[in-house]
Amino acid sequence: MAIPSIDISSADNYPKPDGIKFGYGTAGFRYNANILSSTVFRVGVLAALRSRYLGGKVIGVMITASHNPPPDNGAKIVDPAGDMLEEAWETYATDLANAATSQDLADRVNELIKNLNIDISTPANVIYARDSRESGPALVKALEAGLKAAHDAKSTDYGLLTTPQLHYLVKSLNTLKSANSYGVPTEEGYYKKLANAYKKVLSGSEPYSITIDAANGIGAPKVSELVKHLEGTIDMTLINGKYEDPSLLNSSCGADYVKTNQRLPGGLDADVPKLKLFCSFDGDADRIVFFYIDEDGKFRLLDGDKIATLAASFLKDLVQETNSGLNIGVVQTAYANGSSTEYLESVLKVPVVCTPTGVKHLHHAAQQFDIGVYFEANGHGTVLFHPDAVAKLQTFQVSSPAQKAAIDTLLALSDLVNQTVGDALSDLLLVLAILTIKRWNPADWNQSYTDLPNRLLKAEVRDRTMFKVTNAERTLVEPPLLQSQIDNLVQKYSQGRSFVRASGTENVVRIYAEAVTQTLADELGVKVSHLLEAYK
Ligand code: G16
């Protein structure tokens, strides 16, 4: 039987800009919004094909550029389980985004339909949402045009959401009325699930006090909504909550700013109380980092590594209490501070896996454990509870009240964390729950290990695609000789470590350096970045 082709002549309204090669990067397409509409149209077409290919499962599309500055935007596709798009399909996305003309695009689409044997009469189902960027509404129009062109895919606009909320909805819709239903597939259902789990974990405890820097992004109204459902179990103050003014997004505030600059975000008084807990979200609230001012008045960062170690240590104690034999592992990237890895392996005795940057890589590695904790140092991460591990806990024959309490807490935590992707709101509650139970202030949390001083820098180069890496991004294979030049520098520094990799979200190359003192880490970072001047 001949496979019917589809007509996407409306792509003419969204011509591809000349001279640009689009790539599906670390977290989807991410560019200046002015050049993105052709790509977003094609993302609509591909999302509809992906849904049909999977028999009509719900696929998500998020219009966001997360931590990037206000003029940027992006699009990423969410797979039915709420995780990131399967890697083979990233290649198809890049291929469609680079079709030069509408005819070329139609040919590539029809070829994909043929090669993958996609039945285009299968109803497609795509849901989408956007962050608070000014360019969002226009890009949503381009997406809708792409969905319509792809044989009128059924689609639902969820308006303004955080990225993790869209991931939650995709998974909840696909598991609706099934034995492993993930949650009620509404925004309200999301808040209720998190709030109920938090209240269960912390019944009767004093509310923890926290000030949240929402990066002037969509996390601001959404965390306020969540707090209403928490009914006084959290004492929250919000700063940088002006999401209605998109020009302020991520500007001198937010998780990326605080992590990279290792300083307080704008919007705080100079006279910040000591030992009080703060946190920063990024622009679409899929990342979170915490911080405080210590007794000597020094800024202290509690980043993704500190969240991972806090969670792993707490979960390990609980698992031991259950006597269930479940295993726990932690997944990190090359950006993980050397001290955190050392602490996990030597003190907590937890296995650590290192993957390339990007939640998609960490997520898959974490699925190999009964309980997999994954966090990038930048604060992007979550905890995965393997379905078999949850089933084991649910049916476990308990022999003591302590064992039962530990099992109940673990099960409540599996509801508290958004297991589809890193989620600033859910991670916030996870951390507050642990700190409350342990009765820890931020300094107690921070004392588990001392970060090796480090520096993160960016450099603009003429073509970042020439930087090819291996060994979970810790070693450059191209350009030739650059890695040996870096190695020569690193060996001169006590506890020195440095690597260079191309960003998959910004048009820069990132440089990470670590050494025994801050002065030396800064110096190593600057020297490595000087090596990159040859590639400008
Ligand atoms: C995205 C990814 C993260 C990654 C970050 C930076 O975060 O989801 O996994 O760490 O980009 O990636 P790169 O170094 O390749 O630019 P977000 O919060 O911007 O979506």
Task: Give 374-408 pLDDT, tens digit per residue.
Answer: 999 999 999 999 999 999 999 998 889 999 999 99
Phi, psi of 476 (to 5 degrees): -85, 135
Assess if residue 174 is contained within a domain: no
Rounded Cα gap, residues 406 and 396, in angstroms: 12
Assess if residue 182 is contained within a domain: no
442 Cα–ligand 1 center, Å: 26
Determine the atom of ligand 1 nearest the C-alpha atom of 282.
18
- Residue bearing the CA closest to ligand 1, atom 4: 358
Tell me which of 24, 26, 382 to substitute to probe ligand 1's pocket, judged by most ligand atoms within 8 Å of the beta carbon: 26
Q: Is the CB of 474 under 6 A from ligand 1?
A: no
Q: How far is CA 282 from CA 259, 514, 532, in A?
A: 11, 24, 28
The catalytic position among 66, 155, 172, 529 is: 66
Instruction: Tell me, yes or no, whether 99 and 237 share the same domain.
Output: no
Instruction: Tell me, yes or no, whether 314 and 422 share the same domain.
Output: yes
48 Cα–ligand 1 center, Å: 25
Question: How far from chain centre, in Å, is Cα 150?
Answer: 29
Tell me which of 357, 363, 376 to substitute to probe ligand 1's pocket, judged by most ligand atoms within 8 Å of the beta carbon: 357
Assess if residue 525 is contained within a domain: yes
Domain hosting 425: range is: 304-446
- Residue bearing the CA closest to ligand 1, atom 17: 66
Report ipTM (2 d.p.): 0.96
358 Cα–ligand 1 center, Å: 6
Question: Which neighbouring-strand residues pair with 346?
Answer: none
Instruction: Tell me, yes or no, whether 246 and 359 share the same domain.
Output: no
14-56: per-residue pLDDT in tens?
999 999 999 999 999 999 999 999 999 999 999 999 999 999 9
Q: Is the CB of 357 under 6 A from ligand 1?
A: yes
Assess if residue 381 is contained within a domain: yes
Q: Is the CB of 455 under 6 A from ligand 1?
A: no
pLDDT tens sequence for the chain (536 residues):
444 566 788 899 999 999 999 999 999 999 999 999 999 999 999 999 999 999 999 999 999 999 999 999 999 999 999 999 999 999 999 999 999 999 999 999 999 999 999 999 999 999 999 999 999 999 999 999 999 998 878 999 999 999 999 999 999 999 999 988 999 999 999 999 999 999 999 977 889 999 999 999 999 999 999 999 998 889 999 999 999 999 999 999 999 999 999 999 999 987 899 999 999 999 999 999 999 999 999 999 999 999 999 999 999 999 999 999 999 999 999 999 999 999 999 999 999 999 999 999 999 999 999 999 999 999 999 999 999 999 999 999 888 999 999 999 999 999 999 999 999 999 999 999 999 999 999 999 999 999 999 999 999 999 999 999 999 999 999 999 999 999 999 999 999 999 999 999 989 999 999 999 999 999 999 999 999 999 99
63 in the Ramachandran plot: left (φ > 0), alpha (ψ -120 to 50) or beta? Answer: beta
And the tokens for 518?
A: 């801050």
Instruction: Tell me, yes or no, whether 309 and 288 share the same domain.
Output: no
And the tokens for 93?
A: 């996305």
Instruction: Tell me, yes or no, whether 292 and 403 share the same domain.
Output: no
Instruction: Tell me, yes or no, whether 371 and 280 share the same domain.
Output: no
Determine the atom of ligand 1 nearest the C-alpha atom of 504.
15
Q: Is the CB of 185 under 6 A from ligand 1?
A: no
- Residue bearing the CA closest to ligand 1, atom 14: 503
CATH at residue 407: 3.40.120.10
Instruction: Tell me, yes or no, whether 287 and 215 share the same domain.
Output: yes
Q: What is the side-by-side order of every strand in the sheet holding 288-293?
A: 234-239, 208-213, 277-281, 288-293, 299-302
Instruction: Tell me, yes or no, whether 248 and 295 share the same domain.
Output: yes
Instruction: Tell me, yes or no, whether 48 and 102 share the same domain.
Output: yes
CATH at residue 515: 3.30.310.50
Determine the atom of ligand 1 nearest the C-alpha atom of 286.
18
Q: Is the CB of 131 under 6 A from ligand 1?
A: no
Q: Is the CB of 286 under 6 A from ligand 1?
A: yes
Q: Which one-letter DSSP state was computed for residue 247?
A: G
Rounded Cα gap, residues 71 and 31, in angstroms: 9
Instruction: Tell me, yes or no, whether 267 and 138 share the same domain.
Output: no
And the tokens for 284?
A: 């679409």
Q: Is the CB of 333 under 6 A from ligand 1?
A: no
Number of other CB atoms surrounding residue 244 within 10 Å: 10
Q: Judging by DSSP bridges, how do beta strands 509-514 and 352-354 pair with one another?
A: unpaired
Instruction: Tell me, yes or no, whether 225 and 88 share the same domain.
Output: no
Give the number of domains in the chain.
Answer: 4
Q: Given 272, 301, 330, which residue is the final one in a domain?
A: 301
Determine the atom of ligand 1 nearest the C-alpha atom of 358.
9
Q: Taking a C-beta distance cutoff of 8 angstroms, is the pair 66, 74 a contact?
A: yes
Q: Active-site residue 132, yes or no?
A: no
Binding-site sequence positions for Mg(2+) = 66, 282, 284, 286
Q: Is the CB of 376 under 6 A from ligand 1?
A: yes
Number of other CB atoms surrounding residue 298 within 10 Å: 9
Q: Is the CB of 505 under 6 A from ligand 1?
A: yes
The pTM assigned to this predicted structure is 0.96
Assess if residue 181 is contained within a domain: no
Q: Is the CB of 37 under 6 A from ligand 1?
A: no
Q: Given 240, 274, 301, which residue is the final one in a domain?
A: 301
Rounded Cα gap, residues 16 and 23, in angstroms: 13
Q: DSSP letters along 405-424, please?
A: HHHHHHHHHHHHS-TTS--H
Token pair 């949650």 is found at 183
272 Cα–ligand 1 center, Å: 29
Assess if residue 473 is contained within a domain: yes
365 Cα–ligand 1 center, Å: 17
103 Cα–ligand 1 center, Å: 33
Assess if residue 179 is contained within a domain: no
- Residue bearing the CA closest to ligand 1, atom 20: 66
Binding-site sequence positions for substrate = 376-378, 501-505, 510
Q: Is the CB of 67 under 6 A from ligand 1?
A: yes
Instruction: Tell me, yes or no, whether 18 and 89 share the same domain.
Output: yes
Q: Which one-letter DSSP state was computed for residue 248?
A: G
Assess if residue 387 is contained within a domain: yes
